[in-house]
Copies of this chain bind each other. A is one copy, B any other.
Amino acid sequence: MPTEIRTCLLPLLSEPEDYSGSVAVILDILRASSTISYALNSGATAVIPCEEIEEAQQIADELKQASGEEVLLGGERMGVMIEGFDLDNSPARYPAETVAGKQIVFTTSNGTRALKHALQARRILIGSFLCLDAVVNELKKSEGVVYLVCAGTDGSVTGEDCLCAGAIATELQNQTDQELVLDDSTRIVIDHYRSQIQHEEGVLKGIRASLGGRNLIRRGFEDDIRLCSERGLIPGVPEYHHQSGTITLTTGA
């Protein structure tokens, strides 16, 4: 059972060693975390997160040569597809017919960087509203400190990541017998979540109004906001494996 929840409102508010021994949950709701969840739920065999474009291209080439399997390159810079890549960062682009049975090498501006920042964590889960219940179930089985890491947008705190951190913290506290130690940032995101879910549309209104939501609407990706706010759609949790450098779906069995 966990004893403590800490929330990092932006990666730069933490040092890599802060994560040591914890279970970290990376939250880049619009859209990296959600898109990784969709991809794995659609049958992608693994997602390989990379910080840099060149690194992603090189790893994709190596994987193709080594395995002979089909490998897709996905991700974004400034919210749009990277030249020479197969897929952008929209979850709608990752259905089974596109990704099933394939590995996806993936790089985004904020989410993959937040993950790399938290590499000293004992376990690294990728959180989203889509796999909220599965994440909470997985965290309930963990020990010690849970670290909720909001990826933010280009160095700014974003409401949608804080909202999901608040949702996970609220559910984890509600479903745990003992009182968990909460840091101030966790208390703040819990209050934000509790306030936002009082709206008729639930979290959707808050996500639309957030920095990430406004950016997506401006770029014509409004449909993605709904796709990323479907609570509990996915029964597993994407988990990063330190040794292989891959993210696969942990089904909590």
Q: A189 an interface residue at 8 Å Cβ cutoff?
A: yes
Q: A195 an interface residue at 8 Å Cβ cutoff?
A: yes
Name which of A35-43, A119-127, A153-161 contacts chain B. Answer: A153-161
Name which of A63-71, A73-81, A136-144, A179-187 contacts chain B. Answer: A179-187
A61 to B189, CA, bound (A): 46
Q: Which of B13, B183, B211 lies in contact with A211, CB distance below 8 A? A: B183
Q: For the complex, would chain A's binding face be called helix, strand, loop or mixed by DSSP majority?
A: helix
A252 to B246, CA, bound (A): 60
Nearest-CB residue, chain B, relative to A8: B157
A156 to B14, CA, bound (A): 9
- The answer to whether A12 and B9 touch across the interface, beta carbons within 8 angstroms, is no
Q: Which residues of B contact A118 (CB under 8 A)?
A: none
Q: A192 an interface residue at 8 Å Cβ cutoff?
A: yes
Q: Which residues of B contact A183 (CB under 8 A)?
A: 156, 211
- The answer to whether B196 and A184 touch across the interface, beta carbons within 8 angstroms, is no
A194 to B192, CA, bound (A): 9
Q: A34 an interface residue at 8 Å Cβ cutoff?
A: no
Q: A10 an interface residue at 8 Å Cβ cutoff?
A: yes
A99 to B23, CA, bound (A): 51
**A92-109 CB contacts (< 8 Å) to partner B:** none
Q: Which residues of B contact A195 (CB under 8 A)?
A: 191, 194-195
- The answer to whether A209 and B187 touch across the interface, beta carbons within 8 angstroms, is yes
Decide: A13 near B157, CB < 8 A? Known: A162-B184, A211-B184.
Answer: yes
Q: A82 an interface residue at 8 Å Cβ cutoff?
A: no
Q: Which of B13, B155, B184, B188 lies in contact with A188, CB distance below 8 A? A: B188
List the interface of chain A (C-beta within 8 A of B): 9-10, 12-13, 155-159, 162, 183-185, 187-189, 191-192, 194-196, 206, 209-211
